Amino acid sequence: MFRFKNLIFLFLLIAIQINGQNKPTAFINGKIYTATGKIINNGSLIVEKGKIIYVGEYDNTNFSDKHEVVDLSGKVILPGLIDTHSHIGIDWGFDSDSPTQPSLRIMDAINPFHDSFNRARAGGITTINIMPGSGHLMSGQTIYLKPKKVTNVYEMIFTDNPTEGIVGGMKMANGTNSMKEKPFPNTRGKSAAIIRSLFYKALDYKKKIELAGNDKSKLPSKDLELDAIVQILDKKRMVHFHTHRADDVLTVLRLKEEFGFNVVLHHVSEAWKVTKEIADAKVGCSVIVIDSPGGKLETLELKFETAKILADAGVEISIHTDDFITDSRLLLRSAAIAVRSGLSEEQAIKALTINGAKQLELAGRVGSLEVGKDADFIVLSGEPFSVYTKIEETWIEGIKTFDRSDANDLKYAVGGYDVYRSSGHLSNCEGDE
C-alpha cells in the first residue's frame, strides 16, 4: 500500500510540474554563462514550455504580469552539465560469454527510479551518456538521456522512436579491462584483431544489403550485432572508446582511419604523450579528472594537466565522472581541478556543457543557453569553480528537479550512510571504467 501511495504521489507531482512549466518564467538578475557567448553579468533567462525563449541582459520590458519572476541576484546560472560517460541508473554486472556484444542495449537495463539519478540531479547534471561497462572490447549500445523524475525510460531519452531508433552510441574499449581468460583476448594485438575481424564482417553484411536493394529475397539473414556495426560504419552511431595508454590511443586512431567511423576517446590518461596525433585526427576527448590517480597500472601517468594540454592543442574536450569512479555530485569539482591545473575557465565551462553536447551529437538541443534550446540549466550560489560554491537548483526542460533547500534533495547533495551505503549504490567497479 505504501508503494502504491508513493506512485500516486509521483504521478501527481509530474502532472503538477508539467502544467506549471506552461507559464513563462523569468529568471532575473543572475550572472549567466551561456557557454557559447559572452558572460552576462546582470542577465535574464526566460523559459516557456520547456524551451528557452530569451537570454540576455536584464530588462524589465522583457516580461510582463503573465510571467512568473524568480530573482537570482547574487547567483550564477550555467547550462545543465553534460556527463559524457557514466554508469548510473543500472544494476551492475554484465555477461562474459563473448568479448564483443554490440547488440546489447543498455536501455534495457535502465531503472528510472534508481537512486543514482538523485545524485546526478544534485550534481547539476541534466544530460548523461550511460554505458555498459568496459570489460568487453565492444560492450554494447549506450543511451543518451536526461535524469528527469519520471516513471519510464522513454520519457528520459532524446528520440521519439526508442524501439527502432538509435538512442545512443557504442561503447568500445581496449587496454587491460577487456584482457582476461578466453573467450576474451589476453594481449593488445589480439584485441585489435578481434575488432578488425568484426568490422570486416559488418562491411560484407552491409554490401550484401546494398546489393539486395528492394529484393527482400536477396537480403542476408537479420543479424542484430552486425546491424549495430553497420550503423557505426554509416556514421549514424558514435563510438565512445575507453582507452588509457598512449599506444592504445593510437590503436583507436588506426581503427578509425581504417574503417572511417566517428569516435570520442574516453579517459585518455596518457593523451599528453600523443597530443599531436589526436589533434591531427580531429577527434574529441572525454577526459576523467580524478583527485586520486591510480587504481590500475595503465593510469599511472595520468596528469591533471591533460585537459589543458589537449584544449591548447585545439582538441575538443569534455569532462566526465565515469560514476561510480567519480560521484555524479562532483562533476563541477572535477572541472575545478582541471582549472587549478591550468585549464581556462572558459574552456572548463565548455568542457562541462557544449563540448559534451557535440560529442553526443545533441548540440542542437542542449549544452548552451540559447533561444530555442531545451531549458536545462543550474543555479549556483557563486562562481562555478570556487570551493565554496554549491549547486542550489537543477532545472530540466523548465522543471525544477533538484532544490538544495528541500530536505529530501539536500540529503543526496551531502551524502551520508543512509543514502549511499545502506542503499547499496557504492559498488565494486573492477574492470568497469
pLDDT digit string (tens) for 179-215? 999 999 999 999 999 999 999 999 999 999 999 999 9
What is the C-alpha radius of gyration for the chain, rounded to an integer number of angstroms? 22
With CA atoms as reference, report the closest residue to 137 among 199, 191, 188, 56: 191
Output the pTM of the full model.
0.91
Note the pLDDT tens digit of each residue in 310-323: 999 999 999 999 99
Please answer whether residues 307 and 343 qualify as being in contact, where contact means their C-beta atoms are separated by less than 8 angstroms: yes
User: What would the mean pLDDT of 426-432 be, rounded to a whole number?
Assistant: 45
Confidence band of 345 (pLDDT split at 50, 70, 90): very high
> What local confidence, expressed as pLDDT, does residue 168 receive?
97
User: What would the mean pLDDT of 288-317 be, rounded to a whole number?
Assistant: 91
Q: Beta strand 263-267 with 239-243: parallel, antiparallel or unpaired?
A: parallel
Place of cell 542503499: 423
Tell me the fold of 81-366.
TIM Barrel (3.20.20)
What CA–CA distance (Å, rounded) separates 99 from 139?
8
More confident residue, 83 or 423: 83
> What local confidence, expressed as pLDDT, does residue 165 receive?
77
Note the pLDDT tens digit of each residue in 219-240: 999 999 999 999 999 999 999 9
Q: Considering only 160-169, 170-179, 255-264, 361-370, which range has the smallest mean pLDDT?
A: 160-169
Note the pLDDT tens digit of each residue in 96-133: 889 999 999 999 999 999 999 999 999 999 999 999 98
Note the pLDDT tens digit of each residue in 49-80: 999 999 999 987 666 678 899 999 999 999 99
Confidence band of 2 (pLDDT split at 50, 70, 90): very low
Q: Which residues contact residue 201 at a Cβ distance below 8 angstroms, ignoring those fewer than 6 apart?
A: 226, 229
Backbone angles phi, psi at 407, to 5 degrees: -60, -40
Helix axes 331-340, 345-352, angle to 10 degrees: 150
> What local confidence, expressed as pLDDT, does residue 429 receive?
44
> What local confidence, expressed as pLDDT, does residue 232 receive?
98
> What local confidence, expressed as pLDDT, does residue 418 receive?
66
Cα atoms in the Cβ-side hemisphere of radius 13 Å centred on 297: 2
> What local confidence, expressed as pLDDT, does residue 431 receive?
45
Kindly state the cell numbers that stand for 198: 568484426
Q: Best-predicted range by mean pLDDT among 18-22, 72-76, 417-421?
A: 72-76
Q: Is the pLDDT of residue 368 over 50?
A: yes
Confidence band of 9 (pLDDT split at 50, 70, 90): very low
Q: Is the pLDDT of residue 247 over 60?
A: yes
> What local confidence, expressed as pLDDT, does residue 176 receive?
94
> What local confidence, expressed as pLDDT, does residue 116 receive?
94
What CA–CA distance (Å, rounded) separates 40 from 38?
6
What CA–CA distance (Å, rounded) separates 341 from 216?
58
Q: Is the pLDDT of residue 296 over 80?
A: yes
> What local confidence, expressed as pLDDT, does residue 22 receive?
65
Kindly state the cell numbers that stand for 11: 504521478
Please answer whether residues 142 and 129 qualify as being in contact, where contact means their C-beta atoms are separated by less than 8 angstroms: yes
Other C-beta atoms closer than 10 Å to the C-beta of 422 total 9
